[in-house]
Chain A
C-alpha cells in the first residue's frame, strides 16, 4: 500500500531556490520603494500634521489609512528578507565573509551617507524655514528655534538611515548569539512548524509596541532602542530561520485570504483608536496588541503573496531591485527639497504628491544610472 501523497504545494514553493530568491529580492525592492511613497505621503497625513516638517496645508484621512498600514508592514518585511539574505551569505561565505560584506555594503555607506544626508536635509529645512510662506507647524517651530541667538544643538540621530544601523546591530547580535550556540535554538524552534508563528510572533512583538509610541516612530537614536530591537529583531530572526526552507511557510498559504482580511479589520480598529488617541511615548496594551497582530500577520501575508506572484524574473523589478538601495539612501533629502517649495503652491494635494513622488523617483533612478550602476560605487550601494 502506498502512503497518500501530500497535496501538491503552491507553485512558488515548488520552484527552485533561485526563483525564490527572485521573489524575495523583489519584495525587498518593493519594501524600500514603499518607503519613498510612505515618506512622500506623510506630508498629507492629518496624524503627522504637527510633527512632519514638510507637512502641507492640505491633508486627507485616507492618506493616514494607507500610509500607516504600509508603515506597519514594510520595515518588518524588509528585516525579514534581510535576515534571509544574511543567512544565505553566512552559509556561502562564513562569518568573516559576512563581516566583510556588512562592512562594505552597510558600514561604509552608512558612515559616508549619514553626514551627507543629514547635512542636506538640514540645509533644505533651514532654507524652507526661512523661505516658505505657508510653513508647517514643525517648520514654524524650527524657524523660532533658529531665530534664537544661540540655538542649542541636538544629539546626532540616524534619520531614515536607521535601518542600516539596525542591520549592523543585528549582524553583531547574530555573531554573538551564534557563537554562544543559539543557532541551534532557532533551528529547534523552526522544527515546531509555522502554525506556532501565528500566536508566537505577535506575542513577541507586543511588548515592543507597548514600549513606544503609536504609530511607532523611527528608532533614530544612536543608542540601541529596546522597542525597535524587540519589534524588528524577531523578523530578522524569522528571515534567518526561513533560509533554505521557504516551503516551511506552505501550510500558511490557505490562511492567506482570511489572514489578509483579518489584518484589514484589525487595522480599522487601530485607525479608529488613532483618530482619538495617537501617542508619542507609551502605548496602551490594546492598540499595541493590534499593532503586533497587524505587523506579524500583515508581513506574513505580504511575504506569501510575494512568493506566489513575484517569483518570476522581471527586467523592471530587477532594475528597481538593483537601484532600491541607492534610491532609499538618497530619496529623503530630494523629497524634502521638492516638497518644501510645493507647500506654497496652490495645487491640489494629490497632484503635489504625484509630482513629488515622480520627481524624486526619477532623480533617484537617474542618479543611480549615472553615478552608481557602472561605477565603483556599485560595489557599495549597487
Chain B
C-alpha cells in the first residue's frame, strides 16, 4: 500500500468536484444572500424567515454536495472514469473527504460565526450561544454521518435515508433539549452558562462526527484497490 498521497491529482479532483458543484453552489450562495438580507431588514418576521432560510440552505447545500460528488458520480458511471486516472483509493478518499469538507465547511463556518456575532452583539440574550452551538453541532453530525454513509454504502436508498433521516432529526433533537432544564434554563440569560448535559451533548456530537469521518478515511485508505 502506497501511503504517499498524490497531492497534485488530489487537488485536481477537488477542483473538478468544485467545478461540477459550482452552479448549485451559486444558487445556494444567492439563497443564503437573500436570507442574510432578510435578517438585515430587522423585522421579527424577516428574522424568523431569514434564519429558517439559512438553515434550509445550509442543509440543502450539504446534502447536494454529497449527492453531486459521490452519489451522482456513482449513478452516472463517471466514477469509473475518475478511478482510471492515476489515483489510489487513498488519494480518491482524501480528495472526496477534503473536497466535501471544503464545500460544506466554508459556508458552515461562515454561518456559525455570523450567528455567534449576531447573538453576542445584539440585544439577543447571550445564553442562546449554547443553543446555537448545539444546533450547528447537530447539522455537523448529520452531515458527517451522511458523508460517511455515502462513501461506504453504494445503495441510493440508504444514502437518501441517512441524509434525510439525520437532518430531520433536528426537530426531535430540539424538542429533547427543550426538556432538559439544565440547558433550557440559562438560554434566556445574558451569561453563557454551560451545563453538564449541554457540554456532554456537544462533545458527543463532535466526537461522533470526527469518528465517522476518521473511520471512513481509515477504512477506505486501507483498501488496496477500488473493487
Binding site for B on A (CB under 8 A): 153-156, 169, 172-173, 175-177, 179-180, 221-226, 229
Contacts and interface: CB of A to CB of B under 8 A. Distances in A.
B40 interface: yes
B40 A179 contact: no
Contact of A176 (B26, B36, B122): B26
Given A223-B37, A226-B40, A175 B26 contact: yes
B121 A180 contact: no
Contacts of A156: 117, 121
Q: How large is the interface on B (under 10, 10 to 19, 20 to 34, 35 or more residues)?
A: 10 to 19
25 contacts: A155-B122, A156-B117, A156-B121, A169-B33, A173-B30, A175-B26, A176-B26, A176-B27, A176-B29, A176-B30, A177-B26, A177-B30, A179-B23, A180-B27, A180-B30, A222-B117, A223-B36, A223-B37, A224-B33, A224-B36, A224-B37, A224-B40, A225-B37, A226-B37, A226-B40
Interface string B79-97: 0000000000000000000
Q: Is the interface of B mostly helix, strand, loop or mixed?
A: helix
Nearest 6 CB-CB pairs, A to B?
A: A223-B40, A179-B26, A176-B26, A155-B121, A176-B29, A224-B37
Interface string B19-33: 000110111011001
Contacts of B36: 223-224
Contacts of A153: 121
A180 B31 CA distance: 13
A376 B76 CA distance: 50
Contacts of A154: 121
Nearest to A172: B29
B174 to A, nearest CB: 24
Contacts of A173: 30, 33
B41 interface: yes
B199 to A, nearest CB: 27
A156 B122 CA distance: 9
Contacts of A179: 22-23, 25-26
A234 to B, nearest CB: 16
A176 B27 CA distance: 7
A96 to B, nearest CB: 10
